[in-house]
Structure 1
């Protein structure tokens, strides 16, 4: 074989390649202190199973991706999928599943709270015919252990009850972040999954069932452990994102998950608008000046919150922050015109002030959400 003027000898390789039977997907953000230990524990648990670990890292500032790349120089079955400009556990899981050829994929957190020792049993149940095997804290023999505070345990129980309302089948821990699934089944549902969620398991269960391909589910109990290192990703934003996903699935996808957060931000904007209006009029400013100031401040408030919360996975920075704000204001102005037009038309029809006002507000909210998502945070 020759490349340019250099002749390279053909070398017979005696290395036997074993394609992975299982891919362990690890979504990560600032988990550099946990990754190597997690790999070692999973390697011990899986023993002779042909497997690979795919760490999907959201460009962690702590250098998680660099740690994974160093590991990959030592272990051939480790690789890092580093994402730029994208955030979110659900989308990270889907992208990890999409880049492996393994027929089975498992999702496990990087923080060592999930018990990797049950992975072989989860794989056995899948090989015996289960489409999805859930690592459950609440099945008989499982426990939340010391991994959840009393407050978080109460919140988890409530979230599980809400999830049970839309799951369509009995699953003891539908909020689990630890599961194993046939890759074919996961990728079949992937195009219809919410990309901006923190929980993907309940989405997989509900979406698969509504596509006419309900998953055969099995469970393996385990004890949830305390986080090994780093900080928990649980936050009020995660709770709101979950509620958004729940409402979306409850309405059969009519309301996207991010619409709830966009609406909540808009609600706080109304409060800011009224408070600013009152403050300006209190210091002697005329109504027109006060209304203009209140409108601009409320728009800025809504833009900043949406940029940091609703669209955190596509956050605008630098010059795009300025152009984004200008487009947001322009779109909201058009939404205001649509609000007035629709409200006036309905009022002229039946003279019901409340119905007319509500219709206009809903119209402008939907318009602002759809257009800013398409143009401001495209």
Structure 2
């Protein structure tokens, strides 16, 4: 009986969840590292792939044919690191769950110590920290280090937890803790650890262990300035309460940017260029604002459902159409309240804006992104 077959005779004690996108060149190496680090442990390795065009899922299947402790969940039509981690953690019976990146920057040699701490110290989770003595940020430049430290300070204040590295993507958690909070997770963005701490109804018992953040070995980093946007959204949601969908918060913030764009374009037409046609200027400004809102939402709010190619054109058309109806509803509701109920122009206008925003969000979520993506 082979070692791999022997492991299959027992349920896994530890599942390692690896979210992937365009990581075909890294999966074999990380599987080798995990196997070497966890000798003597019943483990399984779950790659959750967001339909990578470079064949990452097929590469994992090839590994799984040689080692049945390895498997892949291939997601079609959706993306996102946090949601991938959640799906992977829910797809196993293992009592302990680890999350690691696929870029070989997290040190698999720390996994046995994490598991030992969870087994024997009565903890909910163990976190790999780059900021404890003995840890290191690797080859990050000065700008990225400053941004990370700023985000860390803000997260510490918001979470009321003495975490040295709340932005870490390397941790191990008891499955029972995940199952207790999973329905309160937002599932958006890159920082699943922040999501877990925010969703917990009681302070989590945790320990941090230092590790040295390695340089990326293959591929390109998926982190960009949009991560800061998602971090801001998570903080706003924590302040406003989980009853406000995080996508609606993003949609509304971008809508506010659209108002500024609208006024800037209208001012340019009327004042800068001296064109007298207000109605034409208003229509042009509205179209420019809707277009900017569409592309910003496609880039940020719906980055996990991002439209490309022909779908981008169809999405833009449906977005403009839906928002045009929303604008009519905005004006109609505001005018009715102002004329019939004497609510005052401020309350009437705010009510119209709210109705228009909810309409635009609800309709475009279904007909611009969901339907267009599913039609591909």
Q: CA deviation at 1:277?
A: 3.3
CA distance in 2 between partners of 1:56 and 1:366 (Å): 33
Matched, 1:310 2:297: no
Distance 1:369 1:287 in 2: 28
Aligned to 1:136: 129
The residue number in structure 2 matching 1:190 is 182
Find the counterpart in structure 2 of residue 148 from structure 1.
140
Does the CA contact (< 8 Å) of 1:244 and 1:256 recur in 2? no
Structure 1 residue 357 displacement after superposition: 4.4
CA deviation string 1:264-305 (max 9, x = no partner):
432443344344435555274622222223222322332233
Cα distance, 1:137 vs structure 2: 1.2
Indicate yes or no: 2:227 matched with 1:234: no
Looking at structure 1, the residues matched to 134 and 296 of structure 2 have their Cα atoms a distance apart, in angstroms, of 43
Q: 1:277 maps to what in 2? A: 266
Contact 1:343/1:359 (CA < 8 Å) preserved in 2?
yes
- d(CA) in 2 for partners of 1:45, 1:358: 58
8 Å CA contact 2:155, 2:166 repeated in 1: yes
Counterpart-to-counterpart distance in 1, 2:314 and 2:211: 50
Q: Which residue of 2 aligns with 1:203?
A: 195
Unmatched segments (≥5 aa) in structure 1? 1-13
Tell me whether 1:38 sits opposite 2:30 in the alignment.
yes
Q: Is the 8 A contact 1:241 1:257 kept in 2?
A: no
Aligned equivalent of 1:291, options 279, 282, 297 = 282
Moved more, 337-346 or 162-171: 337-346
1:172 matches 2:168: no
The match for 1:266 among 255, 259, 284 is: 255
Determine the C-alpha separation between the residues in 1 that align with 2:338 and 2:86: 44
Kindly provide the CA deviation profile for residues 97-144 of structure 1, in whole angstroms up to 9, marking residues without a partner as x: 111111111000111111111100000011112111111112333222
Cα RMSD over matched residues?
A: 2.6
Tell me the equivalent position of 2:51: 59
Shift, 1:307, TM fit: 2.6
Is the contact made by 1:58 and 1:84 (CA closer than 8 Å) also made in structure 2?
A: yes
Query: Is the alpha carbon distance of 1:15 and 1:64 closer, same or farther for their aligned partners in structure 2, counting shifts above 3 Å?
Result: closer
Instruction: Report the alpha carbon displacement of residue 53 of structure 1 after superposing the two structures with TM.
Output: 0.7
Q: How many residues align?
A: 360
Which residues in structure 2 correspond to 1:1-378 (within 5 Å)? 16=6, 17-128=9-120, 129-144=122-137, 146-209=138-201, 213-278=202-267, 280-281=269-270, 282=273, 284=275, 286-316=277-307, 324-341=315-332, 343-344=334-335, 345=337, 349=342, 351=344, 357-358=349-350, 360-378=352-370
- Once residues 226 and 346 of structure 1 are traced to their aligned partners in structure 2, the CA distance between those partners, rounded to angstroms, is 61
Q: Aligned partners of 1:125 and 1:369: how far apart in 2?
A: 45
How many angstroms does 1:309 deviate by?
2.7
Q: Is the 8 A contact 2:126 2:172 kept in 1?
A: yes
Conserved? CA contact 2:187–2:195, under 8 Å: no
Once structures 1 and 2 are overlaid, which stretch shifts more, 267-276 or 184-193?
A: 267-276
